[in-house]
Structure 1
């Protein structure tokens, strides 16, 4: 690898020390342009090539160096990486818990990463010979003796020729994409007990027996030769549960652009999930895994897996702070320690261990979406598409790349539609031109399909118009005037005033604005007149890069774009005192039934969604949040259906947040909801204070507190089902001819 990188390193040294004379077109002057390599981005196997370190065996990760807590499993013929208790703080109760772990109290501190000067000092006496041995002999690997130091470096990386490389805090990024993919595959293959891929097999149970830990899971040799009984582990599921687990993935439909259609990769009858790509595992880990395990596994096992899912959700946050990452660093160390009490040692390969180092890198380098392999893998896929002559793939890629760059350069000087001026696929455009005096009517979206005109009945027209008025930004002064008017005509308490105002405000508002004449704003005048009773209806509508569909348009399609959520301020009154008002925020979940564009006198248009809303008036009745933080609801019980004139079935398109629903694996009348951040959205904050609340996903605190009380309550073996009977696989000897 260093031979291929040498020309690049020579150029980068020259760019850093001397630079190149460059012309600034904006200032019309020359300046000296210098450049530097910030860090490298690669998968974990690429770390060994670029950093010159080992990526397997005893010292598989250079940041842990000689303090890597590794263990060789003789039966499984692999190395596991456990001992995550040493990453906990000194007073954590897990450190002194000997019963739930390996019987030894943990007093070791977390490994301190080597500085650049320490790494150079360890590489100082290394002499690297490039190329193969002329004699043709292969290098023999010698087993390290107990008194010999652990060597984690194979050669001095060529990157240390850069004058600044030794001083960098972060040189090589861990690839979150592949780490998440491998962790997700470990979990799913183990839960489904996939032969050859599961981390729980006879060899892993024999390793437990050899290590003398978790005695309840030790294999029992039967009288029949080479036949063993494996007691059921806490994460094991029977055949029916495994099919329900696969059924969650099989029935999942995602919003447009969020994920690929994975239903063809899920085989429910065979209990297998095959052929998933990295992004598919990303979606399964963060959205579907918590929904699938919460009803099928014991609560504490589910909580531990949901903690892993939440870790990846938070590490992928677009906006993070140092305090968030410090908290996440402590949480993932505790989560991995809990997993050590549930899964066998063979589960903890190097990819699982690398999770504990991700928050520390995020504190230095920032959000991971700037540093993962997703854009690189997509570009490599594009380069593979350039290959037309399979006998010379490099030449095909180079020729097509040069051709593409040439067209890109020429298109900058061509008038008309080019790749720089072509509208993007989800370009929302503007619904209509609006003046500066009517910003409320600026529809930053457009209808896609199914456009036609509908005549609204009087009840629907009142409900839609009333909702628009009550959600206008500058309506508060008029609401207060109307309340004063209702009080003056003899209404007794606030409850009566609110009810009458809800029913009659639109009529009073129109008369009041007409009496004021030209003294009101143009927007107020347009709103007071009300919309036409003829409205445009769409089957599909796009806004802010999101597609919204009517439920009837969603039926039969592989995508689900009809789910919406709304966080609204609600008002209620005490039964005893009708004047005592209680105001709070409440989340409403619904399904879009109609998409309407209301036309206000041809001077402004407003897009609203008519939805079926789940009844959430009684807490934990038809909308529940379980102890694991998963929200489920029953769409058989609705509220604000629109049957009564006082109902509010509408929501502004600008207010709706898109969600998607997944059927409950046990009860088909209930669904669980999953929130997601649209691609390209960033929750930026104006305040620069580090303590400001960030956009990291909210998680239920119970999944973190449920282990503090009694970790020993996690049963090592399940008593509600039978174990498995397996045969010992005999090693096949190679035949000599």
Structure 2
């Protein structure tokens, strides 16, 4: 589909949302859709130079979550907020946090999974329910709806944005954004879970002590976390200047947009998270980041969709064991359904706009705030077991480097070839599944040249503790721009060489049902108990922040 015709219509609610009155705005569109479906419209075909009767139907809509409610008339708040779980939505109202949360993700696990019987780490109950059944079409529209159960898209872009908000706000303990506040701790006490994180009175009984959770960070660690994001250089067109959103002095990150959140979730957060947080927290968050990265691939098999469904169920259950219930707003619950949406509606890329891929040299990157010189390629390479091995095994090996110079070879006007001169680096992979290189360890210096058509773009994120160590982030080329009419015929070839190798996903640690919830090396927080505290907390934590969409002009309905 060409970018010119990607959007059928666009509606931005803005501050004065029409709510249910959106029917008035859509009435003319619905009349035209009925005409297109029932009788068709005479249309001119410029290629065949003749007219034909065109019929069309509306398959689905793409919109953020508040607009989803307006279009579908399904309330996306309160008790039954999940349109996929329908009336089987598992929710609970937190008295102190004044919000409804959506947990019980154990019901999406296999029936023989040990976590279904783990009462201590969850809600003190066994979970024997099966997953909710998908909502079927009504009898009125049997023919259309039974064959099209996917009517309104869950918008991955805004789900990512809200999840990043929750992760960053909680890890950095940003006031008004963190989900681990005093009210959340009193909710734990009401629910009778995680006694070591419940509020405790001080010896004099005048104040309350809150133990530091396992995901808490020291001021120095928060500074390191922020410095990784501030120093990161991203490819042109992928995101805005994220560095200006990082406030190291205040130890907070704010003002980023949806595509910034997309890039942070897919590529950046893993590095400070795995370097700072304990393994059981870091592995879980890295798996969450990996889920979104893999579900946005341009090539994905049905077997991979099945694996993603199983992995996100385990990941969300592990998050339930680590983070407080207040963390689980509806946007954190919705990823449980995203793999099935890929199965029903196809690749995420067809419901998203992606920037173009560009290349530049390493020296140009040094004086810019962006990074476009990183390259990666895969080549069949013989592997020898020993010096005497006469039967080497050939396998694909990934190589990583940076462009030093570019050359265009002109063969007397017959054709041209672009060459990249590169520095190549020794690469390795760690337990979290991240590949890394050392810029001070070069290799294959006698073979610096590659064809531009052989490589894909990547970029590097510096390790916060080892300056020469850089993690490799393989970017997904976002779009095929139609330079000429002939390009579209080559699309399958172009897609075939895009990076789509399976990622190595870290396994959840085998903890025998017990995890460390408290960080004992940090002093507990002492607070004064005020009767109006929770009301104030509720006001500070903006209710609309659960699905922020007003600040981005790119949100809307299409």
Report the TM-score when normalising by structure 1: 0.64
Choose the corresponding residue for 1:249, options 214, 229, 251.
Answer: 229
Match of residue 363 from structure 1: 343
Match of residue 698 from structure 1: 502
Distance, in Å, in 2 between the alignment partners of 1:546 and 1:294 is 28
Choose the corresponding residue for 1:723, options 512, 515, 524.
Answer: 524
The correspondence of residues 46-445 of structure 1 with structure 2, limited to 5 A, is 46-117=67-138, 164=144, 168-222=148-202, 227-372=207-352
Choose the corresponding residue for 2:33, options 12, 16, 22.
Answer: 12
On the 8 A contact 2:284/2:508 being kept in 1, the answer is: no
Distance, in Å, in 1 between the alignment partners of 2:408 and 2:114 is 59
Determine helix, strand or coil for the equivalent of 2:138.
Answer: helix
Q: Taking structure 1 as reference, are residues 35 and 247 closer, same or farther at Cα in structure 2, changes over 3 Å only?
A: same
Q: Taking structure 1 as reference, are residues 338 and 585 closer, same or farther at Cα in structure 2, changes over 3 Å only?
A: same
The correspondence of residues 498-537 of structure 1 with structure 2, limited to 5 A, is none
Distance, in Å, in 2 between the alignment partners of 1:360 and 1:695 is 23
Match of residue 565 from structure 1: 376
Please identify, of 63-72 and 340-349, the stretch whose mean Cα deviation from structure 2 is larger: 63-72
Q: Taking structure 1 as reference, are residues 54 and 633 closer, same or farther at Cα in structure 2, changes over 3 Å only?
A: same
Choose the corresponding residue for 1:587, options 394, 398, 402.
Answer: 398
Deviation by residue 1:333-354 (Cα, 9 ceiling, x = unmatched): 1111110001000000000111
Distance, in Å, in 1 between the alignment partners of 2:183 and 2:399 is 50
Deviation by residue 1:338-379 (Cα, 9 ceiling, x = unmatched): 10001000000000111111111221111123235x59xxxx
On the 8 A contact 2:214/2:517 being kept in 1, the answer is: yes
Match of residue 140 from structure 1: none
On the 8 A contact 1:190/1:199 being kept in 2, the answer is: yes
1:2 aligns with 2:23: yes
Measure how far apart 1:555 and its partner are.
1.4
Measure how far apart 1:54 and its partner are.
1.5
Distance, in Å, in 2 between the alignment partners of 1:677 and 1:604 is 28
Match of residue 654 from structure 1: 453
Distance, in Å, in 2 between the alignment partners of 1:725 and 1:676 is 44
Q: Taking structure 1 as reference, are residues 315 and 728 closer, same or farther at Cα in structure 2, changes over 3 Å only?
A: farther
Determine helix, strand or coil for the equivalent of 1:592.
Answer: strand
Deviation by residue 1:101-155 (Cα, 9 ceiling, x = unmatched): 112110011111221227x7xxxxxxxxxxxxxxxxxxxxxxxxxxxxxxxxxxx
1:547 aligns with 2:358: yes
Higher RCO by CA contacts (8 Å cutoff, separation 6 or greater): 2
Distance, in Å, in 2 between the alignment partners of 1:369 and 1:18 is 32
1:636 aligns with 2:447: no
Measure how far apart 1:268 and its partner are.
1.2
Distance, in Å, in 2 between the alignment partners of 1:368 and 1:12 is 24
Structure 1 residue runs without a partner (length 5+): 121-159, 376-425, 427-544, 617-622, 642-646, 687-691
Distance, in Å, in 2 between the alignment partners of 1:11 and 1:639 is 62
Match of residue 137 from structure 1: none
On the 8 A contact 2:118/2:513 being kept in 1, the answer is: no
Q: Taking structure 1 as reference, are residues 696 and 112 closer, same or farther at Cα in structure 2, changes over 3 Å only?
A: farther
1:680 aligns with 2:479: yes
The correspondence of residues 443-462 of structure 1 with structure 2, limited to 5 A, is none
Please identify, of 206-215 and 624-633, the stretch whose mean Cα deviation from structure 2 is larger: 624-633
Distance, in Å, in 2 between the alignment partners of 1:632 and 1:241 is 22
Distance, in Å, in 2 between the alignment partners of 1:194 and 1:64 is 32
Distance, in Å, in 2 between the alignment partners of 1:226 and 1:12 is 66
Distance, in Å, in 2 between the alignment partners of 1:654 and 1:20 is 43
Match of residue 626 from structure 1: 430
On the 8 A contact 1:611/1:650 being kept in 2, the answer is: yes
Distance, in Å, in 1 between the alignment partners of 2:133 and 2:97 is 30
Measure how far apart 1:322 and its partner are.
2.7
* Structure (1 or 2) with the larger CA radius of gyration: 1
Distance, in Å, in 1 between the alignment partners of 2:326 and 2:393 is 55
On the 8 A contact 2:101/2:326 being kept in 1, the answer is: yes
Match of residue 467 from structure 2: 668
Please identify, of 212-221 and 181-190, the stretch whose mean Cα deviation from structure 2 is larger: 212-221
Q: Taking structure 1 as reference, are residues 62 and 201 closer, same or farther at Cα in structure 2, changes over 3 Å only?
A: same
Distance, in Å, in 2 between the alignment partners of 1:573 and 1:308 is 37
Please identify, of 595-604 and 277-286, the stretch whose mean Cα deviation from structure 2 is larger: 595-604
Determine helix, strand or coil for the equivalent of 2:340.
Answer: helix
Deviation by residue 1:182-237 (Cα, 9 ceiling, x = unmatched): 01110010000001110000000110111011111111222577632221211111
Please identify, of 552-561 and 335-344, the stretch whose mean Cα deviation from structure 2 is larger: 552-561
Number of equivalenced pairs: 504
On the 8 A contact 2:238/2:259 being kept in 1, the answer is: no
